[in-house]
Amino acid sequence: MDRKRRISIIGSTGSIGTQALEVIERLRDKFEIVALAGGNNVELLKLQAEKFKPEYICYNNKAISPPGDKSISSYKILHGEEGLEQICSDRSTDLILVACSGKAGLKPTLKAIENGIDIALANKETLVMAGDIVMKKAREYGSKIIPVDSEHCAIHQCIKDIRQVDKLIITASGGPFLHKSIEEMRKATVKEALSHPRWNMGRKITVDSATLMNKGLEIIEAHHLFGMDYDDIEVVIHPQSIVHSAIEYKDGSVIAQLGLPSMHIPIQYAITYPERFEGIKSKSFSFAEIARLDFEKPDFEKFPALNLAYFAGRTGGTATTCLNAANEEAVFAFLDGKITLCQIVEITEKMLSGHKVIQNPSIDEIFAIDGEVREKTQNYIKNTL
């Protein structure tokens, strides 16, 4: 980089956001932080602001004032959606890392794209909700979308020319219930569902990983990022999480990206792309130490979320918006102890089967459908279960 890259982070207080700041701390001379935005963890946001000296901070609730002496703050304080809009309209920004969870990522991503700002995209829900619109807008405004998700980051690193690629192979660790029976899965507690064997992540994505809906969302994300047909996107279970994904070229050559399971690597790749630096790399990779890599086909019966995601993706239009909204609400209900783990996908399927799909929706239609499905899902959980 010939000058410092001006970066903002939406979701700086979360799992991806804090790891991104760890990467930036190691590469202090490469970055200048424009804005840090979080949801409700104002204390952490304030500590981050003291350390990284952004120009703005933004958090959800106007009623909470950040701890400490406001008069000595060197940054401007913004709030909620309006604040995020302001951050995403600052054209002096080179890159915005969208690392908030759930539907909160879509509006800021669209705003940043409209301002020609490049995006490092961790928030997969953005593309599941409105992938066609987001990717079209990005092409129109010349904004790069660089994937942060380790699987898509892997594919991004493997692809030279997408026209020569026959198939994307997305790996999945299989989550905490890979080798448990359906009965055990039915009785799973929130604690068990949150005990991911490989990755330490936010609560929503961890539950999605337990049902494999996370992989389903990633199939849809891959379709939009790389323009691949759903028939040419395959999922393979790989419990060690060393091979982060692969592509098969037309001539049968398979290129995979490997690395120790750490999100620092894909985050760093996305925010420093196209350059690479030593940064936070802690340990050299050793095939001999890893010794073996296992692969197996996913069990579509035990993990119906995969088929549901393929179905929604192939249906297109607002089907994936509906899938995302119903799943997210059902995950919250599971975390609140209102439903069981397996009911998450059952409810999502129910909402999807009752959904009247709009093809080629406008962004307003997408937000309207998102709201309707959320309300319907909440009512269904409240009144039926």
Ligand X SMILES: NC(=O)c1ccc[n+]([C@@H]2O[C@H](COP(=O)([O-])OP(=O)(O)OC[C@H]3O[C@@H](n4cnc5c(N)ncnc54)[C@H](OP(=O)(O)O)[C@@H]3O)[C@@H](O)[C@H]2O)c1
Cβ contacts of 125 within 8 Å, gap of 6 or more: 101, 102, 103, 105, 106, 217, 324, 328
Cα separation, 321 vs 128, whole angstroms: 6
Nearest approach, Cβ of 121 to ligand X (angstroms)?
9
Nearest approach, Cβ of 117 to ligand X (angstroms)?
17
* Residue whose C-alpha is closest to residue 126's, from 111, 104, 146: 104
Nearest approach, Cβ of 78 to ligand X (angstroms)?
11
Nearest approach, Cβ of 291 to ligand X (angstroms)?
25
Rounded CA Rg of the chain: 20
* Residue whose C-alpha is closest to residue 46's, from 14, 16, 73: 73
* Residue whose C-alpha is closest to residue 324's, from 364, 366, 360, 354: 366
5 - beta bridge partners?
Answer: 31
Q: For residue 190, what is the enclosing H or E element?
A: helix 190-193
Nearer to ligand X, 265 or 308 (CB): 265
Nearest approach, Cβ of 248 to ligand X (angstroms)?
23
Distance of CA 127 to the CA centre of its chain: 9
Nearer to ligand X, 151 or 248 (CB): 151
Nearer to ligand X, 108 or 298 (CB): 108
Nearer to ligand X, 43 or 132 (CB): 43
Nearest approach, Cβ of 217 to ligand X (angstroms)?
7
Q: Count how many Cα atoms sit within 13 Å of the Cα of residue 20 in the half-sphere of its side chain.
A: 33
Q: For residue 172, what is the enclosing H or E element?
A: strand 165-172
Q: Which residues bind ligand X (CB under 6 A)?
A: 10-17, 37-41, 60, 99-101, 104, 122-125, 149, 199, 201-203, 205, 263
Nearer to ligand X, 41 or 307 (CB): 41
Nearest approach, Cβ of 328 to ligand X (angstroms)?
10
Nearer to ligand X, 14 or 279 (CB): 14
Nearer to ligand X, 122 or 185 (CB): 122
- Reading across the β-sheet that carries 254-258, which strands appear in turn? 233-237, 165-172, 243-249, 254-258
